[in-house]
Structures are given as structure tokens and as C-alpha cells.
Structure 1
Amino acid sequence: MQGNGSAAFGARQKMQADPFARIRRAAGEGLTLRPLGRSHAALFRDGSRTLLVSFESLDDIVRLDDDGLPLGLQIAQDRGFSYLGILAATQSWYRLRALYDLFDRLDDADWFGRFDRVVFYGAGMSGYAAAAYSVVAPGANVIAIQPQATLDPRVAGWDPRFIEMRRTSFTDRYGYAPEMIDAAASVHILFDPEQNLDFMHAALFVRPNVHLLQCRNLGRRIAPALHRMAILRPLIEAGCEGRLDEALFWQMYRARRGYLPYLESLAQKLRHEGRPYLGALLCRNVESRFDAPEFRALRAEFEGQLSAAGKPIPPAPGPRI
């Protein structure tokens, strides 16, 4: 037992010493990983004249991929794109001087100008960074999922999350994300309007070049939900190919009709709103397509409410969702 504990402690020490070791081993040849302090790194890959810039934390990466490879890197390798991945091992919102300096140097060298198309991607704090750092590439496309506009308490003091970031400066270089996207060709902000704080941050991004895409009833972790629906990667690929627009997004987002967590969230919403008829219709629709005992129980509850109120029980399925 003591030996196993020592081995585990040694593994943790190695991870702390090089949090990107697994990515370094798994990424393969043709990549350059440049440390940015102890807890951040930049990963470069040469490819086509399309550049994908993704910001991903280690938590994001593990949540989406068992092999521990950044989603942006997987897309770039499979599609032959050039790639710049900014990786974070801590919840920093990418507010560090080494990263400012990296983007300053790339900007001074007109590195982004070498590409025909540049796409910035990130989710959550990484969505904030994707928007904020996109200023170095005028004409870029930005895909930001649930981004914070800023954590400056003077602007976003209404957001009680991330209290530990209150002393971090969001007013110097690459600071207020909504001001950094003015020169972008298009910005797609994905958020759930039922999540009030995310909605308020999204509202701060409103600009003529911004598309606010409401992912209602997906909750607090939209990126993993889109990934499980198998549309996150196609969404980013469409951005890299210049095909992403609102119509394509809504076409892809139809996949939610077959995503049980979304359907359950919708059923619970109807339950809380006291709408048993629509709730029963929804449950019948889901039962006709899935083996979902939880929906049978919900339907029984909805139908019981209808019977008690002397209202008709809906017949066979079912509404379009």
C-alpha cells in the first residue's frame, strides 16, 4: 500500500512538473510545443493556409477526449490545417504576460497575415480568450461557447462566479473581449439563455458582426453537450471552411432532438412551468423513439395531473421539438 501511494505521489509530481507531458507524447511529430511559464503552453503545427487557433484547458481536453489530445489539434491534423493551440493547466483566463508577448510577436511579424482564413475557437474561459486574442487577426472568424466578456468587477460585478479572478487585471492588453472583436469578420457566440449569467455576458458582445446562437436547455456545459451530439467538431470545421452561418448552425442543432439530456431538461422545464399537456406529448414522443423509462415515469405524472384537472390526455406522439 505504501509503495502504491509513493508511486501515485511521484506521478502527481511529474504532472505538476510538466502538465503537458501527455500531450507532448500523444501529439506525434510535426508539432512544436513551447512552454509559456509553468501552467501554459503554445502548440504549433504547419499546414494549409487555413489556421485554426484554439484555446483549451486541460480540463476541457480530458472532458472531450480520452486520449488527451486538444480538439483543435485533432481537427487540424485530420483536415491538414495549420494550428496554434494555447493550452492552460490552470483557471487563468489566459491572463499572463508570456501569452501577451507571444501574440505581440506574432502580430509584429504579420504571422496571421500569411493565412487565407483564421478561426479562433474556445469555450468558457477559453471562449473569452478566443474572442480577446482574435484582435491580432482582423477578418478572423470567432467561435466562442459561453464566453465571459470580462471578469473585471467594475463591469461584471454581478457575476458571483470566479471570485478568485477579481484581482486579475482585465483592463490591460487583450482585456475586454467585446472590444477585441470589432475587426473580426464574424463572431458566433453560443450560450443557453436559461443560464442568466451566461446570457448577460453574451449580451455584452452584441455587435453588427456578432451572431448570438441560443442553445436553450443545454445548461452550463454546452461544449461537452455539442460534442456528445456529434456536432461540435463539424461546427468548428464549418468555420474553418467559411461555411458557418446561422442557418447551418440551426440545421446542425436539430441533433438535440435525439439527445436525451436535452429532452430530459426540456421535460423538467415543462414540469416546473406546470404545462402537463405539452409534457405528456413530449414524453410520448421520446418513448416512441428511445427506451427511456424515466420518461415513462414523467408521462405518468403529467397524465395524472391532466386527469386530476379533468383535462384530456394527449394521444400518440408528438410535437416537433
Structure 2
Amino acid sequence: MEDRQLAIDANFRDLGANAWLAKVDDVCEDYGFFEQLGREHCAGFLEAGNALLVTFENVQSVRENNIDAEPRGFPYARHDGWSHLALFSFKQSWFRDQYVYDFFDRMVDEGFFDNFERIIFHGGGDGASYAAAAYSVVAPGATVIALRPQATLDAQMAGWDGRFKPMRKTNFNDRYGYAPEMIDGANRVFIAFDPIERLDACHAALFRKSHVTALPCPLLGDDLDQAFDRMGIHDVLIKLAMDGTLDRRRFLQLLRARRYDPTYVRALVRRLIITGHPRLARIICAYMIKRGHKAFFVDKYEELSPTQDIHT
């Protein structure tokens, strides 16, 4: 397969759900295929080069949060000549669906993944990151990037996680079930999580294999997908992973960009106040005000006394 950049010329912004999906369908049919997978999922493929990016995304999230409302893999097909397989859900399903199982079974039987030299499975957010890890088993040697994944939502194994109650009746014990076991055949696995988010940290700790690299992201919260986009590091992260040069040290270098992200800095200021460091919080507020970020930081700066810090 020769690498080629795809001339994708489509505007996905400001479209209703049906129109958006129809446009994705059109683009995928032009360069690969598009399939409906039951009532709750669909898959689209763009054939470009020997590198394959497999993504799992929720349709509503893509339309509302992605840059230009575009599926995450489309820019890589356009600019980098990567092939792209996109799995979409129409609701929060964790991609636990017989139609999705059957799709990946068929892709394996047809030798689909054998056509690519480098493969990434990527998922960000509830369900998508779990799916990226769980379904990576179909492509031994792949790299997995899972942002805040759940290992399972099975009540017996993860009863300590009381979130996602609508998913409690879903079977996580049959095929493609327990994500930490499904990554055994992967080459490298990157698990990003906020260690301050206790339940997310508990799930991350279940990914214990030697080829797993934990990527702690303190104070970035429960939406790492958007946080990485805001900081401008998401694209770099994915490209480093595809090149095989991503590691913990390089990731921590990228994470330094959070100091310029007002959302992160607001969380840092709140954390410093809670933990008894108001003087440092005030210094950070002053720094952000100088950078032109006045909302929140001006009020906090005025609230905090310069002699208030209990730690000297």
C-alpha cells in the first residue's frame, strides 16, 4: 500500500446529527467504506497509507468538541497519509455490542489489519478509551493510547465505581471484555489519567502489564481528550506514538504546556488554596493576570491575602 494524502474537502461544522453522519458516510465511501453496525454504532474507513489510526468516538462529542467537528482521524488521512478506521457510537455504549464484535471478527478473518505496518488504537473519554484497549487485541503489535480508560464496569470486579449506572446491566464478561487482558498482544500501551481523580486512578492501576506506560495528568480532570486539544499536545502525542518515540519522559515534556492552559491553572489555584498554600496561589493568579487572563484570577487574587499562607 502506497502512502497518499487524501484530498478530503468537506465541512462538518454546524451540521445536524443526520447531515453530519451523511457527510462522514460520503467521505468514507469515496476513499474506503462506511458501515452501519446495528442501531447504535457505525464504522468508517479511509484507505491511505501503511500507518493505520483506529479511533473510537461518540458522534455527539465529535460534533460538539472536535476541531472543525471532524472525526479525529480525518486530518491524519488528509495531511499525513495515514489510513483511518473510525468506530462511532450514537450513545454512551462502551462499544459493547454484538454488531461491533462481529465487525472486528470479520476484519480479522479478512486480514484487514495485516495490511498495515504501524497501528494505533486511540480512545478518549468514557467508553471510547475502554474500547481502544479492549479491541486492540485484534491487531497484535499495535500501540494503544487510552485517555482515562475504565478497565471494566462489571459489578463484581469494579463495584467500587458507582458512576455510569446505565451501563451496569451491560455484559463486560464475554468477548472483548476485560480491557487489561485484551492489551496483552499490544506492543506499547499508554494509559493517561488524573491521579487526583480517585476512581480513574483505580482503573488505571489495573493496567499492570510491563508494556504499559502510565501517563499521570494531575489536575486535568475527567476530560483529557479536550484538555490535550486545548493545550495543543494531542496531535504531537499521537504522531510520537505512531513514530514509536513516545515515552513517559517525552510526555511529561509535552505536559508542561498545561501551565498556559487557564482551565488547568484555575484547578491548580483551587488545589493550592485547599491544601493551605494561598500565597503561592496568589502569585500564580498575578502571573495569569499579566498574561491577560483576568476572569477568575482577578477575583481570587483580591480574595487572597499575601500573608495568608500557613506554610512558611
Q: TM-score, normalised by structure 2?
A: 0.88
The code of the aligned residue for 2:70 comes to L
Q: Distance in 1 between matches of 2:56 and 2:140?
A: 18
Shift of 1:50: 0.8
1:221-260 aligned within 5 A: 221-260=223-262
The code of the aligned residue for 1:273 comes to T
Shift of 1:118: 0.7
Shift of 1:65: 2.8
Equivalent residues of 1:139, 1:183 under 8 A apart = yes
User: Which residue of 2 is the match for residue 266 of structure 1?
Assistant: 268
- Single out whichever of 221-230 and 19-28 deviates more from structure 2: 19-28
> Percent identical across equivalent pairs?
41
Shift of 1:166: 1.0
Q: Distance in 2 between matches of 1:211 and 1:272?
A: 30
User: Which residue of 2 is the match for residue 156 of structure 1?
Assistant: 158
Shift of 1:74: 2.3
Equivalent residues of 2:28, 2:44 under 8 A apart = no
Matched, 1:58 2:65: no
Equivalent residues of 1:19, 1:39 under 8 A apart = no
Equivalent residues of 1:64, 1:71 under 8 A apart = no
Equivalent residues of 1:147, 1:198 under 8 A apart = yes
Matched, 1:206 2:208: yes
Q: Distance in 1 between matches of 2:216 and 2:21?
A: 34
Q: Distance in 2 between matches of 1:27 and 1:43?
A: 6
| Structure whose CA Rg is larger | 1
Shift of 1:170: 0.5
Equivalent residues of 2:262, 2:293 under 8 A apart = no
Shift of 1:262: 0.5
Matched, 1:92 2:122: no
* Pick aligned residue for 2:148 from 142, 146, 166: 146
Equivalent residues of 2:279, 2:306 under 8 A apart = no
Equivalent residues of 2:28, 2:34 under 8 A apart = no
In the alignment of these two chains, the number of paired residues is 297
Q: Distance in 1 between matches of 2:298 and 2:20?
A: 46
Q: Which runs of 4+ in 1 moved over 3 A?
A: 25-28
SS at match of 1:142: strand
Question: Which sections of structure 1, spanning at least 5 residues, go unmatched?
Answer: 1-10, 313-321
User: Which residue of 2 is the match for residue 193 of structure 1?
Assistant: 195
User: Which residue of 2 is the match for residue 295 of structure 1?
Assistant: 297
SS at match of 2:196: coil
Shift of 1:219: 1.1
Equivalent residues of 1:131, 1:144 under 8 A apart = yes
1:166-177 aligned within 5 A: 166-177=168-179
- Single out whichever of 297-306 and 73-82 deviates more from structure 2: 297-306
CA shift in 2, pair 1:297/1:305, >3 Å = farther
CA shift in 2, pair 1:139/1:259, >3 Å = same
1:65-84 aligned within 5 A: 65=66, 67-84=68-85
1:197-251, Cα deviation, whole Å (9 max, x unpaired): 1111111112111111111111111111111111112211221222221122112
User: Which residue of 1 is the match for residue 7 of structure 2?
Assistant: none
User: Which residue of 2 is the match for residue 316 of structure 1?
Assistant: none
Equivalent residues of 1:50, 1:117 under 8 A apart = yes
CA shift in 2, pair 1:293/1:213, >3 Å = same
SS at match of 1:119: strand
Question: Which sections of structure 2, spanning at least 5 residues, go unmatched?
Answer: 1-14
Q: TM-score, normalised by structure 1?
A: 0.86
Q: Distance in 2 between matches of 1:231 and 1:28?
A: 30
* Pick aligned residue for 1:218 from 209, 217, 220: 220
Equivalent residues of 2:193, 2:217 under 8 A apart = yes
RMSD after superposition: 2.2
The code of the aligned residue for 1:81 comes to W
Q: Distance in 2 between matches of 1:88 and 1:19?
A: 14
Matched, 1:105 2:103: no
Equivalent residues of 1:64, 1:227 under 8 A apart = no
User: Which residue of 1 is the match for residue 281 of structure 2?
Assistant: 279
The code of the aligned residue for 1:258 comes to Y
